[in-house]
Amino acid sequence: AQSVTQPDIHITVSEGASLELRCNYSYGATPYLFWYVQSPGQGLQLLLKYFSGDTLVQGIKGFEAEFKRSQSSFNLRKPSVHWSDAAEYFCAVAKTGGTSYGKLTFGQGTILTVHP
Amino acid sequence: NAGVTQTPKFQVLKTGQSMTLQCAQDMNHEYMSWYRQDPGMGLRLIHYSVGAGITDQGEVPNGYNVSRSTTEDFPLRLLSAAPSQTSVYFCASAKGEPYEQYFGPGTRLTVT
């Protein structure tokens, strides 16, 4: 079974600083990869996704992520964090192939705090 | 389009009570699913459906029932609520492979 690890439970950065959130997955092939963001008391919003092709993907709100097959990683980055980026971030994977039906396996989440 | 809608937003139950969490989507998506979110555990799949009349279990199905009589609706039933089912529940839907999923706003359930 696939698994997802987000090693950092809580990260604190200063506004304007760069950000990298780590995500490692365990799966026998290249999965579909997703990053979601959840503001307190809210639902999940898709930041970006990787299905195939270019390993550097751009998302909303200035986020990007890079898929590294050799490291089984899909780290999320942002060059300059804004106070409004404070939220919880989830990495998720889904098996490829029609019979997987896109069932998502989520990481434990990383809570981002932004200091002014 | 309203997307994925869930009702109610909040619910408090006593142990042993039953209830149904409602989920509907207006995007004509074939695939629908239910997840629960618990602190420090991310989201875990409860049940999913690949079309009307077809459902299957996910990672944590015990204590929950589902049915899918129409493409639009996918209710989640708790037959006898337990405190361990205190959680936030999210419904999601997707069209087809690669199954990019759209999430509803969630239902916060407390079982006392």
Mean pLDDT (chain B) is: 94
- Judge whether A9 is closer than 8 Å to chain B, CB to CB: yes
Q: Are A94 and A31 in contact (CB under 8 A)?
A: yes
Task: State the Cα–Cα distance between residues B77 and B26, nearest whole angstrom.
Answer: 21
Res. A5: pLDDT tops 80: yes
State the smallest CA–CA distance between residue B43 and chain A in angstroms.
6
As a whole number of angstroms, the distance between CA A62 and CA A111 comes to 18
Q: Which residues of B7-29 are buried (b: 16+ CB within 10 A; e: fewer)?
A: eeeebebeeeeebebbbbbeeeb
Do the chains contact at A94 and B99, CB–CB below 8 Å? yes
Question: What's the full length of chain A, in residues?
Answer: 116
> What is the per-residue pLDDT for B100?
86
Q: Which residue of A has its CA nearest to B36?
A: A106
| CA distance linking residue B13 with residue B4, whole number of Å | 24
pLDDT for the residue A98: 65
Closest in A51, A100, A108 to B42, CB measured: A108
Region A18-36: mean pLDDT is 92
Angle B67-A98-B66 (CA atoms, 0-180°, nearest 5)? 10
Average pLDDT over every residue of A7-24: 97
Helix (H) or strand (E) holding A18, with range, is none
Got the DSSP string for chain B? ---EEEE-SEEEE-TT--EEEEEEESS--SEEEEEEE-TTS-EEEEEEEEETTEEEE-SS-TTEEE--SSSSB--EEESS--GGG-EEEEEEEE-STT---EE---EEEEE-
CA angle A59-A33-A92, nearest 5°?
100
- The chain-wide mean pLDDT, for chain A, equals 93
Instruction: Name the residue with higher pLDDT: A114 or A95.
Output: A114
- At A35 the pLDDT is 97
> Which among A44, A48, A90, A93 is the top mutation candidate for probing chain B, defined by the most B β-carbons within 10 Å of its own β-carbon?
A44
For residue B2, count CB atoms less than 10 angstroms from its CB and return exposed for 0-12, middle for 13-18, buried for 19 or more. exposed
Q: pLDDT at residue B46 above 80?
A: yes
Alpha-carbon distance of A88 to A71, in angstroms, equals 24
Please report where in the chains the tokens 């404070």 appear, as a residue.
Answer: A86
CA distance B111 to B21: 14
Q: How confident is the model at residue A56 (pLDDT cuts 50, 70, 90)?
A: very high
- DSSP reduced 3-state for A85: helix
Interface membership of A53 toward B (CB under 8 Å):
no
Is some CB atom of chain B closer than 8 A to the CB atom of A44? yes
pLDDT in tens, B50-109: 999 999 999 999 999 999 999 999 999 999 999 999 999 999 999 877 778 999 999 999
A99: pLDDT strictly greater than 90: no
- pLDDT above 90 (res A40): no
Please compute the mean of the pLDDT values over residues B26-53 and round it to a whole number: 94
Q: pLDDT-based confidence at B1, cuts 50/70/90?
A: confident
Does pLDDT of A48 surpass 90? yes
